[in-house]
Amino acid sequence: MAGIAGPLVFSVLLIVAVIGNPENSKGRKSFKGYQVLSVRAGNEMQLEYLNLLQAGPEIDFFQVPSLAQKTDILVPPNQLREVKKSLRKMKLDFEIINEDMEITIERERRDMATRATGDIWTTYLMWEDFELWLQEKSTNFPGMMELKSIGKSNEGRDIWQVKVAADINAPKKPAMYIECLAHAREWITGSACLGTIDILTANYGKSGTLGQQATLMLDKFDWYFIPMMNPDGYNFSKQNRLWRKNRRVNVVSSCPGVDLNRNFAADWGGAGSSSNWCSDTYRGGSANSEPEAQAVINAVAETGDVRSYLSIHSYSQLLLVPYAYDNVKAPDYNELKNVGDIAMLALRQVNGVNFVVGHGPEILYAASGGAFDYFKLNGVKYAYVYELRPASGSGTDGFILPASQIDPSIRETFASFYSFADQIPA
């Protein structure tokens, strides 16, 4: 915290004063009057200030503060004046990109009410429908798909693993893992997993671009998906649309939840995670403490010969190359960066959407305890984090990505999965 003057620390402490938790008439958390400010940190001192601001539980950071990209922060109405004043004092440029978060959430709710339920290409499936879709799909493709519970969440929900293979009964091939919905509010990531399962099963052995791609992908590898790593949090995001963590009950605090992507044993407790139970980046009581994390660790170990582990998150339009936990690049960083660059080129060719590829701490941000770092440290060579649409600072949507973007987002993400499969040796 060196470099931050005393009075500024004091003003941060004022900002993080505890506020209430207003809920609207249907038991959902209301974000009425909450604004999203997009902040650009231009130097180390400003970055430090943002990190200090993030340490308080009441300002919700949508990205880890970084010098390389804008950081979008959600500020409750009763703190807007103080926060804006302190940002100006620190000469931090910001713009208001969402005047009232509740209006955005209401818009999504109305939009989804008009859409056919169960269609993963045009709407978001909530927890029950999500499970149902997985069960129906595996029933429809018994020769290609295997649905397996790899453990139970804190609240007793199944953590599902989906295996998709050219022939589910054939000897095992090298494995590719794709993990989605570790963070509850990142709904588009669940769509990315379901959409990819849908494309692979529907197109294997067929002609056309998707047919050729699905065939290569499944002839070369077995594909494993953790489509909903955090089912409790995801289910809860119906009530609190911006919920991120799991639903672990904390014994010494009224704040539930552990950030699953800070819980893994990859420099656990290090940079970019919090020991504060109420923080959105609370790392948990110990490394790998959460049943959701343990389930995935055990499943990957049991599968063996895993070539790639892709953690799908949103939002920022980034591909992170390990490691994120410290200012250390993986020994084969350059190779991974090149492969990632080519995959993101394939992604861009679909809809013209640009993803920045880079090393966590140096170019983007530091975050310890991430699943991809954990698996990279444990022998999975091609480990990456995606941050899907939209770019930070780009408008009102953020996590509330309009359902009209589900289809194009699935397609561009799939193109990059194909590129990874094409490039990675079997």
Active site residues: 387
Q: Decide whether 203 or 409 has the Cβ nearer to Zn ion.
A: 409
Q: How far is the CB of 350 from Zn ion (least distance, A)?
A: 22
The residue whose two tokens read 């699953």 is: 260
> Phi and psi for 155 in degrees, rounded to 5?
-95, 10
Cβ–Cβ < 8 Å for 61, 47 = no
Q: Decide whether 108 or 259 has the Cβ nearer to Zn ion.
A: 259
Q: How far is the CB of 313 from Zn ion (least distance, A)?
A: 3
Q: Where are the alpha helices (DSSP H) in 230-386?
A: 231-236, 291-303, 333-351, 360-363, 371-377
Report angle CA 182, 173, 180 to the nearest 5 degrees: 10
Q: How far is the CB of 134 from Zn ion (least distance, A)?
A: 21
Q: How far is the CB of 356 from Zn ion (least distance, A)?
A: 16
Cβ–Cβ < 8 Å for 388, 315 = yes
Assign 3-class secondary structure to 391-406. Answer: CCCCCCCCCCCCHHHH
Q: How far is the CB of 216 from Zn ion (least distance, A)?
A: 29
Q: Decide whether 163 or 389 has the Cβ nearer to Zn ion.
A: 389
Q: Decide whether 133 or 372 has the Cβ nearer to Zn ion.
A: 372
Cβ–Cβ < 8 Å for 66, 47 = yes
194 burial (CB, 10 Å; 0-12 / 13-18 / 19+) is buried
How does 80-101 read in b/e, with b if 16+ C-beta sit within 10 Å? eebbbebbeebebebeebbebb
- Rounded distance, CA 318 to CA 143, Å? 35
Q: How far is the CB of 179 from Zn ion (least distance, A)?
A: 11
**In the chain, how many H helices and how many E strands?**
13, 12
Q: Decide whether 137 or 370 has the Cβ nearer to Zn ion.
A: 370
The number of angstroms, rounded, from the C-alpha of 172 to the middle of its chain's C-alpha atoms is: 29
Q: Decide whether 8 or 229 has the Cβ nearer to Zn ion.
A: 229
List residues binding Zn ion (CB under 5 A). Answer: 183, 313
Q: How far is the CB of 248 from Zn ion (least distance, A)?
A: 17
Cβ–Cβ < 8 Å for 277, 252 = yes
Q: Decide whether 48 or 259 has the Cβ nearer to Zn ion.
A: 259
Whether the bond into 34 is cis, omega within 30 of 0: no
